[in-house]
Structures are given as structure tokens and as C-alpha cells.
């Protein structure tokens, strides 16, 4: 299991929302490249970048941020938000991402996703399952996806995708603990899934709980930015710190 820090982008800046509410926005750094370099310096290998402007507008807006981070670091980056076409997918790869994150399009147009999977390979994609009260939300969490979380994950697995991250929107940015019970149920129902948890992590104990649940990784934002999970190994529990590697 690995920890994957998140950089969420609005207006080119590193921000965090609370429970997906764009009105509850905190800017943590004006320079996402600086943040990414700090992560890499701490031993981080993976990075999760979300173009929140793109997710809201339905088109990629902050591709340049991805390109700048990829040029400045050796991080393995997944990037998503506003991906609509195969050209978008190609542009993301060309800008330096190793993995493209797909959310809304996987719900609205799974036939297009299937074409992309055939073109680039299933391992090049990470599917985002954003859930609220058991139902998938799309378009920056602003619209209902009209499908339940278990049915959606089953559909993605039928396409050959096993790398899926699940965000419980009610937990995201709240640092009130992750939805371990939900993740456990997902893994029990779909044991072939390689599930990454997202949302609610507040400390390293939450990370260890997710590991015990069977999650393969944890995407973490606010807990890192606010120092609840230190990146410095001399400040963190050394046994827990191995999950950054």
C-alpha cells in the first residue's frame, strides 16, 4: 500500500475543498510545482493531480500545471478533470502524466472509455468512483451519475479496468476518518479490484486502517497540507513512513 498525495488545482493554485464544495476552498500554495518538489524530496513516488476547474467546466484547463510538474520532478503522475476526448487523453500523456484519471466519461460514455482502453491499455487509466450516499456523482461532484457505486465498479471491471479510486464525498476534506466500511464492502463484492481510498484521512492510523481493509493505496490531501501526516521521516512514525515509498 502507498500514500499518494493530491494536488487539486483551481486557477493554477494548489487548493483543497471540503466535501466537494467549491465555495469552501482553501489555497495552500500558489505554486503547485513547489509542492510537488517537496513531495518528491520526502520520498514520494506517486502524485494525484485534479484539474478542478476542468472537472467543473467539462474541459481541461490546467494542463500547463501538469506539464510544469512533470518537467520539474520524476514523479509518477495521474491527472484528471475535464477529460472528454481521445485527444485530451493524448495531450495528458504528452504533458507528462503516466496515468489518466477518468470519472464522468466512464459514467456517461463507457463506450468511449472502452475505445481509449483499447488504444492505450487498461493500466494507463485510473477510474474515479466519486460517491455520495451510495450513488455516483459526476462533473466535479455537481451532477448525479444515476448509478450505484457497486454497479459502477462492476461495470468498470467488466471493461478490464482494475485500478479504481473511490472518494466518499461526505468525507472529503473533512479529516473525520475514511469510509473504511464502504471500502471493505467494495473489496468483498469485487475482490479483483485494486482499490485506492480517497477522502477523510486524518492521521497515519487511518492509513493503517485502510491497509487492513485491503486498500492498495490512499490519496491524501488536507491531512498532509495541515501537517497531520508529516512528510519528514524524523517527525513521523518510521514504521508508518514506509507507506510513502
**Residues marked as catalytic:** 8, 130
Q: In this structure, which long-range contacts are made by residues 62-66, counting pairs with CB atoms below 8 Å and at least 24 apart in sequence?
A: 62/9, 62/12, 63/91, 63/92, 63/95, 64/12, 64/95, 65/9, 65/12, 65/32, 65/33, 66/92, 66/95, 66/96, 66/97
Q: Which three cell numbers stand for residue 243?
A: 507507506
Residues 213, 56: Cα–Cα separation, whole Å: 32
Amino acid at each position: 500500500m502507498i500514500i499518494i498525495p493530491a494536488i487539486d488545482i483551481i486557477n493554477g493554485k494548489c487548493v483543497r475543498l471540503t466535501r466537494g464544495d467549491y465555495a469552501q476552498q482553501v489555497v495552500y500554495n500558489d505554486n503547485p510545482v513547489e509542492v510537488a518538489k517537496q513531495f518528491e524530496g520526502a520520498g514520494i513516488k506517486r502524485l494525484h493531480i485534479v484539474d478542478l476547474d476542468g472537472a467543473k467546466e467539462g474541459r481541461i484547463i490546467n494542463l500547463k500545471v501538469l506539464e510544469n510538474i512533470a518537467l520539474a520532478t520524476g514523479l509518477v503522475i495521474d491527472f484528471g478533470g475535464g477529460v472528454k476526448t481521445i485527444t485530451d487523453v493524448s495531450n495528458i500523456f504528452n504533458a507528462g502524466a503516466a496515468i489518466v484519471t477518468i470519472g464522468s466519461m466512464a459514467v456517461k460514455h463507457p463506450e468511449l472509455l472502452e475505445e481509449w482502453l483499447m488504444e492505450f491499455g487498461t493500466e494507463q487509466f485510473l477510474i474515479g468512483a466519486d460517491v455520495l450516499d451510495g450513488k455516483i456523482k459526476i462533473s466535479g461532484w455537481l451532477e448525479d451519475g444515476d448509478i450505484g457505486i457497486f454497479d459502477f465498479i462492476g461495470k468498470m471491471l467488466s471493461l478490464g479496468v482494475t485500478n479504481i479510486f473511490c472518494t466518499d464525498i461526505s468525507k472529503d476534506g473533512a479529516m473525520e476518518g475514511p469510509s473504511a466500511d464502504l471500502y471493505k464492502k467494495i473489496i468483498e463484492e469485487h475482490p479483483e479490484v485494486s482499490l485506492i481510498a480517497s477522502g477523510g484521512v486524518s492521521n497515519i492510523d487511518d492509513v493503517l486502517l485502510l491497509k487492513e481493509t485491503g486498500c492498495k493505496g490512499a490519496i491524501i490531501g488536507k491531512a498532509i497540507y495541515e501537517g497531520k501526516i508529516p512528510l519528514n521521516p524524523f517527525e513521523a512514525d518510521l514504521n508508518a513512513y514506509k507507506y510513502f515509498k
